[in-house]
Amino acid sequence: MTDQVPPPSLYAAREPIFPRRVSGPFRNLKWVIMAVTLGIYYLVPWIRWDRGPELPDQAVLLDLANRRFYFFWIEIWSHEFYFVAGLLIMAGLGLFLFTSALGRVWCGYACPQTVWTDLFIKVERMVEGDRNARLRLHRQEKTDARKLRLRLTKWVLWLLISVATGGAWVFYFADAPTLLVDLFTGQAAAVAYITVAILTATTFIFGGFAREQICIYACPWPRIQAAMMDEDTITVAYREWRGEPRKHSQEAKTAPQGDCIDCMACVNVCPMGIDIRDGQQLECITCALCIDACDDVMERIGKPRGLIDYIALSDEVAERGGAAPRSVWKHIFRPRTMFYTFLWAGVGAALIVALFIRSDIEMTVAPVRNPTFVTLADGSIRNTYEIRLRNKNNDARLFRLFVKGDPALRITLEGTPYGSIEVPADTSFLQRVYVIAPPGSPPAQTDRQDLRFWIEDLTNGDRAWKDSSFIGTGNQP
Amino acid sequence: MTKVPPKQDGDPDTTGHTWDGIEEFDNPMPRWWLWTFYITIIWAVAYTIAYPAWPLVSSATAGILGYSTRGEVISDIAAVEEANAGINTQLAEAEITEISLNPELNSYAVSAGAAVYRTWCTQCHGSGAGGAVGYPNLLDNDWLWGGSVEAIYSTVAHGIRNEEDPDARYSEMPVFGDILEEEEIAQVANYVMTLSGGTPVDAAASQAGEAIYADNCSACHGDNGLGNNDLGAPNIADQIWLYGGDYDTLVETVTYSRYGVMPPWQQRLSEAELRAVSLYVHQLGGGE
């Protein structure tokens, strides 16, 4: 026991990654996408939208307290939450579509983890310098004034970005200008501060310290995305037939030499810390920075670009055999992507149709069935219904309620001698309604008769209806 | 397919189990994992000391923090009552007939009244207020003691025919079995059936019953059987019967009389609750 060699640890500490600066078309694309996505995220809550005096003037607002979602001209009530579910389904199908066509483009360009990490790395590079300077600083064991100053500067900048990130999130849930003032004067709700604090902490830790670990260990996407990809998916790959054997390898001294000069540029720029030349890997987010880096090197040594490239794996095999690659469009338009597009468009079309056919007046009818009917003094049979009227207009509306069914049926409204109901702007209103069948009339004596409630908006004549039924004494055993 | 790597020097011991040729290393657990485990043990012990935990014969250990779920419920109820104190005062002090004109107060009263109703009234009047034999249906438009909101309030607050509340409205139908002959009771029961438009069992008896009705019943139930709200005398000319309008039931009612009692609620409910439940009952559909 005593002279046994201690077992090797199964827990490896994180290898810090110091991505080198790179420039090229894909890097530029990433900058543009970062600017657009961050711009949308930070600015959208500040867009104003005039909805009249009673409603919030914010273009995009998730008003959880009043159970209303506002999205520009669209207002979604809580019972229409299927619109949100539909959008989430579309987002999922869209992700499937893009992944099957272009690999993990979401991960590489648009994922918040990628965007914020990219921003944090940019800040890190501005403060501490590029890869070599950062490596030196990391390896310097003694924390002197310079190291402390650089570290603190970096962390403070990260923290500012994190606070702004957490801060922007809460503006989607309340009137942004009011909330901003409230946040600074200590007037905002506790939940706002807690949300800001949590999002600040997660942004700071995920973007600053966890980085690629989130993508590798925490995110489920790398584990399931392979199900959407196949050999026709266009993804970042290394043209092994062209690159190997590498310049420094043993083989290269005897055999003809490949284009790869083993300069490690592709590895040094990779934010995930992988070597794409090892083949397809779970960690690869297809951000294409290695393509930019390699193309740069190939240009300098006078070789054609594209040693590392966006290619389909089937093409890599075809090229190896001397065949020409298939065109990009043939890769993208294939049954699988067509199927995803069809599903995506189907859900989208259904949502658009639902959006246009939905009415701005609605009602639900709940018959009171305890007891099913009441006998009145003169022998009439009365049924009670609880009718909820929804007025989605920005002004109060007067509704007339009437019933179609047996001509003997009469309708009265609880609490008012009139046949009409005023429903305030943007509210739902519960009205108790009685339907009475005179003694001896057919509906009073039968078990059950169908009837239909109508509402009419007296302002513009819009109508809506709901079917229900009338229970008479025939129901008695 | 896959080659199992041979055991190497430096590999830890195995657990000694083999499953289909697969062995498991007996690795130590990570330190952070173990510490988390120890902390949960400490937490569990501390929790059972601080909170009620160990079952005893008829109760459980109380815990040094003195926490109880009942205590939490009591404080929750107190918090709700405190939050509603303002509107309850407003409800208790408003003119009762004017409350329905104030939509906010009325809506509060109806909701609160529904809760009071479900707690105290459903046992007799049914959860949907449909009543039962001997227990009035509160949904219809027939009221023994009046269906205005003030009349309903008075009935709820003081009850009917009870001994506990001196203000309870009181009336008693005589036991006609001691006064009339059996034949006369049969005649008057037949006559009463015609008052509400029904067909008497015996038409001849019904005609004879008219005079008996005029002598014995019309003082309270009125010449035409329309009843009297001030006396709580039921309208016997309508289609609503508290105990039933068939011949046998009518004979029983006349012979032995009826004596329905409702308890007074002002001893148990607050003024705001009394008003709330009165308003709730009033809007059920029969309110006058």
What tens digit of pLDDT does each residue of B208-249 get? 999 999 999 999 999 999 999 999 999 999 999 999 999 999
CB A363 within 8 A of CB A455: yes
Summarised one tens digit per residue, pLDDT across range A396-427 is 889 999 999 999 999 999 888 888 888 888 88
Please indicate, yes or no, whether residues A52 and A154 belong to a single structural domain of this protein: yes
CB contact (8 A) between residue B240 and residue A375: yes
Going edge to edge, which strands form the sheet with A60-63? A60-63, A68-71, A74-77
User: Of the candidates A278, A269, A308, which has an alpha carbon nearest to the alpha carbon of residue A17?
Assistant: A269
Measured CA to CA, the distance from residue A394 to residue B182 in angstroms comes to 72
- CA-nearest residue to B103 within chain A is A415
Average pLDDT of the residues in B188-204: 91
Say if residue A331's pLDDT is above 90.
no
Whether chain B has a CB inside 8 Å of the CB on A371: the answer is yes
Measured CA to CA, the distance from residue A85 to residue A80 in angstroms comes to 9
Among candidates A7, A415, A439 on the partner chain, residue whose Cβ is nearest the Cβ of B12: A7
Kindly report the nearest CA distance between residue B142 and chain A, in angstroms.
Answer: 6
Mutate to test the interface with A, among B32, B34, B140, B280 (most CBs of A within 10 A): B140
* Final residue of a structural domain among A193, A221, A249: A221
Please indicate, yes or no, whether residues A320 and A288 belong to a single structural domain of this protein: yes
Mutate to test the interface with B, among A374, A380, A434 (most CBs of B within 10 A): A374
- Higher per-residue confidence, B154 vs B288: B154
Say if residue B172's pLDDT is above 60.
yes
Domain B173-258: which topology?
A: Cytochrome Bc1 Complex; Chain D, domain 2 (1.10.760)
Please indicate, yes or no, whether residues A183 and A115 belong to a single structural domain of this protein: yes
CB A342 within 8 A of CB A350: no
What pLDDT is recorded for position B9? 67
Please indicate, yes or no, whether residues A208 and A124 belong to a single structural domain of this protein: yes
What pLDDT is recorded for position B4? 54
What pLDDT is recorded for position A201? 96
Give the structural domain span for A287.
230-326
CB contact (8 A) between residue B240 and residue A377: yes
Measured CA to CA, the distance from residue A88 to residue A104 in angstroms comes to 19
What pLDDT is recorded for position B123? 95
Q: For the whole prediction, is pTM greater than 0.80?
A: no
Establish whether the linkage from the previous residue to B174 is cis, with ω within 30° of 0.
Answer: no
CB B149 within 8 A of CB B131: no
Whether chain B has a CB inside 8 Å of the CB on A53: the answer is no
Q: Quick one: tokens of A304?
A: 């054609």
Fold agreement (B77-170+266-288, B173-258): yes
Please indicate, yes or no, whether residues A289 and A374 belong to a single structural domain of this protein: no
Instruction: Report the SS3 class of residue A417.
Output: coil
* DSSP characters over B218-238: HHHH-TTS--BTTTTBPPSSS
What pLDDT is recorded for position B12? 73
CB contact (8 A) between residue B140 and residue A377: yes
* DSSP characters over B20-64: TTEEEE-PPPPHHHHHHHHHHHHHHHHHHHHSS-SB-SSSB---T
Q: Quick one: tokens of A311?
A: 């290619």
Summarised one tens digit per residue, pLDDT across range A46-80 is 999 988 777 888 999 999 888 889 998 888 888 88
Summarised one tens digit per residue, pLDDT across range A78-137 is 888 899 999 999 999 999 999 999 999 999 999 999 999 999 999 999 999 999 999 999
> DSSP code of A397?
E
CB A289 within 8 A of CB A26: yes
Q: Give contacts of B238 with chain A, Cβ < 8 Å.
A: 377-379
CB A22 within 8 A of CB A289: yes
Confidence of residue A9 (pLDDT cuts 50, 70, 90): low
CB atoms within 10 A of CB A382: 21
Q: Give contacts of B283 with chain A, Cβ < 8 Å.
A: 414-415, 432
Please indicate, yes or no, whether residues A181 and A42 belong to a single structural domain of this protein: yes
- CA-nearest residue to B236 within chain A is A377
CB A280 within 8 A of CB A235: yes
3-state helix, strand and coil shares in percent for chain B, rounded to the nearest 5: 50, 5, 45
Confidence of residue B2 (pLDDT cuts 50, 70, 90): very low
What pLDDT is recorded for position A6? 64
Please indicate, yes or no, whether residues A253 and A321 belong to a single structural domain of this protein: yes
Please indicate, yes or no, whether residues A264 and A143 belong to a single structural domain of this protein: no
Summarised one tens digit per residue, pLDDT across range B58-114 is 988 888 998 999 999 999 999 999 999 999 999 999 999 899 889 899 999 999 999
Q: Quick one: tokens of B162?
A: 């009870």
What pLDDT is recorded for position A417? 81
CB contact (8 A) between residue A374 and residue B285: yes
Query: Looking at domain B77-170+266-288, does it have CATH number 1.10.760.10?
Result: yes
Confidence of residue A475 (pLDDT cuts 50, 70, 90): low
Average pLDDT of the residues in A328-341: 90
A9-27 as b/e, with b when 16 or more CB fall inside 10 Å? eeeeeeeebbbbebebebb
Residue at A266 is within a domain: yes
Confidence of residue A12 (pLDDT cuts 50, 70, 90): low
> DSSP code of A11?
-
Question: Which residue type is seen at A419?
Answer: G
> What's the alpha-carbon Rg for chain B, to the nearest Å?
35
CB contact (8 A) between residue A10 and residue B27: yes
Question: Which residue type is seen at B142?
Answer: D
Kindly report the nearest CA distance between residue A162 and chain B, in angstroms.
Answer: 28
Domain spans in chain B, listed from the N-terminal domain onward: 77-170+266-288, 173-258
CA A346 to chain centroid: 19
* DSSP characters over A66-93: TTEEEETTEEEEGGGTHHHHHHHHHHHH
Please indicate, yes or no, whether residues A152 and A172 belong to a single structural domain of this protein: yes
Task: Count Cα atoms within 13 angstroms, Cβ side, for B140.
Answer: 26
Say if residue A142's pLDDT is above 90.
no
Whether chain B has a CB inside 8 Å of the CB on A382: the answer is yes
- Higher per-residue confidence, B177 vs A251: B177
Measured CA to CA, the distance from residue B89 to residue B93 in angstroms comes to 6
Say whether the ipTM exceeds 0.90.
Answer: no
Among candidates A374, A377, A379 on the partner chain, residue whose Cβ is nearest the Cβ of B139: A374
State which H helix or E strand residue A428 sits in: strand A427-437
Confidence of residue B1 (pLDDT cuts 50, 70, 90): very low
Measured CA to CA, the distance from residue A68 to residue A62 in angstroms comes to 6
Q: Give contacts of B30 with chain A, Cβ < 8 Å.
A: 11
What pLDDT is recorded for position B279? 95
Mutate to test the interface with A, among B239, B280, B283 (most CBs of A within 10 A): B239
What pLDDT is recorded for position A65? 87
Mutate to test the interface with A, among B97, B117, B224, B240 (most CBs of A within 10 A): B240
What pLDDT is recorded for position A253? 67
Among candidates B12, B30, B140 on the partner chain, residue whose Cβ is nearest the Cβ of A374: B140
Q: In chain A, how many domains are there? A: 3
